[in-house]
Structure 1
Amino acid sequence: MKMIKVAIVDDHKILTEGLESLITESGIAIVVGVAHSAAECRLSLGFWKPDVLLLDVGLPDISGLDFCKEIKEEFPVIKVLALTTHSEYTVVRQMLDNGASGYLIKNAMAEEVLAGIKAVAAGETFLCHEIDLLMKRPSEKNIWLSPRERELLRLISEGFTNTEIADQIFLSPETIRGYRKNLLLKLGAKNTAVLVKIAVEQKLI
């Protein structure tokens, strides 16, 4: 049986090490490369030539959503399998629309990860159980935000910058940037103006 060649792009080193062990020990696949950012991946993807690329949505230098599209345009034969903490409908939908062949949540069971690799390598679409249920639900869904996210949304809508918000709620501007990026993903907004519009329409602030 031909071994499936897998590459991993994720900035969490402990996770990539765990995945590498899991895949290597599975007997069905080998890891041909690991990158912790999109920039790192771009340098090596042409050399690795993986069959399957495990890709995180929240990369440090670019959104995995955009990077997925870029990869599929440059290397259409590579099957992208998203592996992420994001389980929002809009994020999954956009990832699939951008060319991903499958979607896994990071708390997925080891068997699901391997099943996903096998399925997408064989040309199938694979959704882990939790995401499969999500995609079958009616699309008019309630958006759940944590109290911290609601507070941040309110401050964004009042026109404060990341630095000003950071000063107000005693977090670093870097953390605020991460929160803001997550809010854009969660609400399916392209930019801050759209984010505020959705927040008002959905009565989130």
Structure 2
Amino acid sequence: MIRVVIVDDHKILTEGLKGLIDGSGSAIVVGVAHSAAECRLSLGFWKPDVLLLDVGLPDISGLDFCKEVKTQFPAINVLALTTHDEYSIVRQMLDNGASGYLIKNAMTEEVLAGIQAVAAGGTFLCHEVDLLLKRPREKHIWLTERERELLKLIAEGLTNGEIADRIFLSPETIKSYRKNLLLKLDAKNTAVLVRIAIEQKLIG
């Protein structure tokens, strides 16, 4: 029997998943946590084979938590479960040690197949994500109004502190925005970020 732990802050979803997994006959849920902090407290005690991990946790990013879990418990297989189907997030999650990736609207069979595949040491990508990774990188990058504004100020050469003063946010928030922009645009550093922004006409 495959031992599964679910880490997700949506209680209705975790209850549904628990029912689905417990009723499968091949796996059982040994623990449920609604935050990374809650999971940390019991992970050593639960000793799961598979960790179903949401990317958008309320306390820290699931991307960072995945890395932390794999460092401390290399034997735990992480299966990401998320509403995010952006190429950069999927890539980062897999780079941080996840063995599989499920979108939250995945079919029941896909959830169970994913659990079985990663528990056996394999990798599993739900159909949508598999297509996403095989598709040529699409050129259309969608940014929020705030991200576009920030990108423009970065391109003007402003520091995090200067940008923070300009748009009335804390430097810490700007730092986090900048990190997300690098990830979204798949840029190694600010210079590359600005170049891509100009090439893709993301800033006027």
TM-score over 0.5 for the alignment?
yes
TM-score by length of 1: 0.80
Unaligned runs of 5+ in 2: none
Rounded to whole Å, the distance in 1 between the matches of 2:34 and 2:189 is 26
**Contact 1:54–1:81 at 8 Å: present in 2 too?**
yes
Which residue matches 1:54? 52
1:142-198 alpha-carbon deviations (Å, 9 max, x no partner): 23416xx1x1122223375499478xxxxxx9xx99x94865553346788876664
Q: Does 1:143 align with 2:140?
A: yes
State which structure, 1 or 2, has the greater radius of gyration over its C-alpha atoms: 2
Q: Does 1:199 align with 2:197?
A: yes
**Structure 1 Cα separation of the partners of residues 9 and 165 of structure 2:** 23
Give structure 1 stretches of 5+ with no counterpart.
167-172
Percent identity (aligned)? 74
Match of 2:148 among 141, 147, 154: 154
CA contact (8 A) 1:91 1:188 kept: no
Partner Cα separation in structure 1 for residue 6 and residue 166 of structure 2: 33
RMSD of Structure 2 on Structure 1 (CA):
2.8
Secondary structure of the 1:82 match is strand
| d(CA) in 2 for partners of 1:23, 1:201 | 47
Correspondence for 1:124 among 122, 125, 143 = 122
CA distance in 1, matches of 2:71, 2:139: 34
Q: 1:90 to 1:154 in 2, by over 3 A?
A: closer
> What's 2:108 paired with?
110
Distance in 2 (CA, whole Å) between partners of 1:101 and 1:145 is 27
Q: TM-score, normalised by structure 2?
A: 0.80
In structure 2, the CA distance between the partners of 1:141 and 1:25, relative to structure 1 (3 Å rule), is: same
Distance change in 2, residues 1:126/1:204 (3 Å):
same
Amino acid at match of 1:74: Q
Q: What SS does the aligned partner of 2:23 have? A: helix
**Compared with structure 1, are the counterparts of its residues 145 and 16 closer, same or farther at alpha carbon in structure 2 (3 Å cutoff)?**
same
